[in-house]
A and B are shown apart, each in its own frame.
Chain A
Amino acid sequence: MDVVFNQAFAGLSIASILLIIALGLAIIYGTMGVINLAHGEFVMLGAYATWALQTHLGLGVITALPLVFLAVAAAGWVIEKVIVQRLYTRPLDTILATWGIGIILQQAIRLGVGAESKFVRGPQWLSGNVEIGALVMSNYRLFVIAFSLFIVAVTWLLMTRTEFGMKLRAVIQNRGISECYGIEAKKVYSVTFAYGAGLAGIAGALITPLFSTIPTMGTGLVVDAFLVVIVGGLGSLVGTAAAAMLIGEVTALFSIVINDTLGRIAVLAGIIILIRFRPRGLFPSDTRR
């Protein structure tokens, strides 16, 4: 039984990382219909930015978070301005374009920084565990869970309580009409893309103490994040959060009952069945189509 609780906690920590990554992906897709295949590379950029800040400026992972967010958001903003913006009328081409961008980013890091994995030290004050009976929870993972809740809250406030959020929701509902009301959809898009990229960057920073920092690290993560977005319902904030939880927990529990490899297969099969019966995800957003 202890194992199950520990595993539920592990699932929660996986879910919270997935959530941060998927949130950016979902917002970008929900707003502008761009399927951003370079999202995993934004995670990777975030990890490398953290590494650079730690090695060259001596900043800890947590202190680096806001800087990493800004840096990756800036990179996302530039990419949106230079490439993605030209493709809004051709949504399918964005898949190819962002895939290409992803490869370019990967190779740029490989050429510029090197292919070998980089070492990032975790925060000292978050080392150690909280133990409640047989339940062992690592402080760092607890922090990651708390931080992802914070991110969800901030994103929710941004979407529902700010002028930008209102404009954003208007653009999501109907771009043409919102433009008639004087909303600059282009500007909204740029900021949204940058914000989504920045979230991915944060996820990248948060996983550096646990995973290895290599140019290809984003590829696997983005696949999971896509699953979350699909299961959650495209563009739905609540759906993304619920799906991240669900996939994280189910993956964790399956892997302890069967094993990691078969657990993953089982989760994929489950998702396929779910999509068969709820093709628009768990919580489809009620936009007019």
Chain B
Amino acid sequence: MRRRDFLGRAGAAGTMGLAGGLSMPALLSGARRAYAAEDDIPVGLLFSLTGAVAVVEHTLHDAALMAIEEINAAGGVHGKQLRPIIEDPASDPATYADRARRLMIRDKCVSVFGSYTSSSRQAVLPIAEQRNNLYWYPTLYEGRECSRNIMYGGALANQQQDILLPWLVENFGKKFYMIGNNYVYPKEENNYCRILLEQLGGEVVHEEYVPMGHSDFSSVINRIRAEEPDVIFTTLVGDSDVAFARQYHAAELDPEKMPVCSLTRSEVEVKAIGGEAAAGHFSSAPYFMGHQSAENETFVENYKARFGADEVTHFVSEAAYFQVYQFKAALDKLDPANISPTAIRDAAVGMTMMAPQGEILIDENLHTHLWPKVGQWQSDGQAKVILQSDERISPKPYAAYPGQDCTGEGLVKT
């Protein structure tokens, strides 16, 4: 934690304690404070600043906080400032739930922005639904979820794989080797990949999962050598991905003949892998730091100016950033005397906005229409966008499950 944040929080905690004490009788007498009765608008930031996922979530926290600061500097919303209330759930799902509850009940946040892993989102989901609040989740995820209280900013399986797979099959071949960490996200993505691959006449030569944090891939690499697949399709996350990429490079397997294509590798991972070892491989994502657009230029410039020239932006931090702006735009449409999470959600549906990746739209199922891209990593640690969808792709959280669909009314059977 930075010292200034700490002082600010200590101060805020002090005043909050005082205010809490004073407002206690009012609370007991049953008077309910309206959400926007105060001079500023409290917004929860629920990103881990400590613990196992802090490495990534810290960057999301930074991007979201930067958006809030930018909005405040430009005059806020309806003349009110956004007041970020920062909680650190320390990478622990149970703490996520606890802190989300605190932000939604005690701090009366109209929205909470947060988290990276599916497990933390699933921990917060029941709280957001009970309180009928809004939780803005920026990460790509496995889909198969349809909540009226979560705003999904990241890519779904169909938004990452629909343009990617035909292109991979055409350029490299039909034999896929799947490797991922052993949890729900890789399995759901591979499930969808199999469906697409079958339609394209391809085959999966091997599918395997290693435990989280697994870091010795010598036997995996030997198996890859033996199977000789055309494409290695990975959903390894974090340190496993870093170790795999480095050992793949050390084993001198040729990315031109047998590229690794990742759904999870971003600028952050590549920084740890080293540009040389990552060079030549591919990632599919709606945003890369090297994407050329005026919005992205501003985003990257501000980010570097605020957090250091060595820092990178990536496809999750971009979503953490634009979601705050979506929230702001929804507030702009509302009567300042009457803002509630439900009203914000209803105002946000159907809204378009220029994000760094392109013009995005919030679907009625609360997921986001995005611009899929495929990037090839270069030795400088940046991705060159080599394939870009011609159109904005709509989110289909149940793409792998025919007969079910997530709509504005929630989950429906079709």
Binding site for B on A (CB under 8 A): 2-3, 6-7, 10, 13-14, 115-119, 121-122, 127-129, 136, 138, 140-141, 209-212, 214, 216-217, 220, 252, 255-256, 259-261, 263
Q: Is B347 an interface residue (CB 8 A)?
A: no
Q: Is B211 an interface residue (CB 8 A)?
A: yes
Q: Is the CB of B271 within 8 A of A119?
A: yes
Q: Is the CB of A10 within 8 A of B250?
A: no
Instruction: Tell me the minimal C-beta distance from B256 to chain A in angstroms.
Output: 17
With A10-B222, A117-B55, A136-B225 in contact, is A212–B242 under 8 Å at CB? Answer: yes
Docked Cα-Cα span, A96 to B315, in Å, equals 42
Within 8 Å by CB of B250, from A115, A122, A252, lies A122
Docked Cα-Cα span, A127 to B250, in Å, equals 7
With A209-B246, A212-B239, A261-B182 in contact, is A116–B55 under 8 Å at CB? Answer: yes
Instruction: Tell me the minimal C-beta distance from B75 to chain A in angstroms.
Output: 35
Q: Is B409 an interface residue (CB 8 A)?
A: no
- Find chain A residues with CB under 8 A from B216 CB: 14, 211
A-B contact count (CB 8 A): 91
Docked Cα-Cα span, A217 to B209, in Å, equals 20
Docked Cα-Cα span, A197 to B36, in Å, equals 59
Docked Cα-Cα span, A140 to B222, in Å, equals 16
- Find chain B residues with CB under 8 A from A122 CB: 250
Q: Is B23 an interface residue (CB 8 A)?
A: no
User: Can you report 23 residue pairs joining A to B where beta carbons are below 8 Å apart?
Assistant: A3-B222, A3-B223, A3-B225, A6-B222, A115-B54, A116-B272, A117-B55, A128-B252, A141-B218, A210-B243, A210-B250, A211-B243, A212-B243, A214-B239, A216-B52, A216-B213, A217-B239, A220-B213, A220-B215, A252-B219, A256-B219, A260-B208, A263-B219
Q: Which residue of A lies closest to B244 (CB)?
A: A212
- Find chain B residues with CB under 8 A from A255 CB: 219
Q: Is B41 an interface residue (CB 8 A)?
A: no
Instruction: Tell me the minimal C-beta distance from B263 to chain A in angstroms.
Output: 19
- Find chain A residues with CB under 8 A from B210 CB: 260-261
- Find chain A residues with CB under 8 A from B251 CB: 129, 136, 138
Considering residues A2, A138, A140, which has the most beta carbons from chain B within 10 angstroms of its beta carbon? A138
Docked Cα-Cα span, A260 to B210, in Å, equals 6
- Find chain B residues with CB under 8 A from A118 CB: 272
Within 8 Å by CB of A256, from B55, B223, B274, lies B223
- Find chain B residues with CB under 8 A from A6 CB: 222, 225-226
Q: Is the CB of A119 within 8 A of B54?
A: no
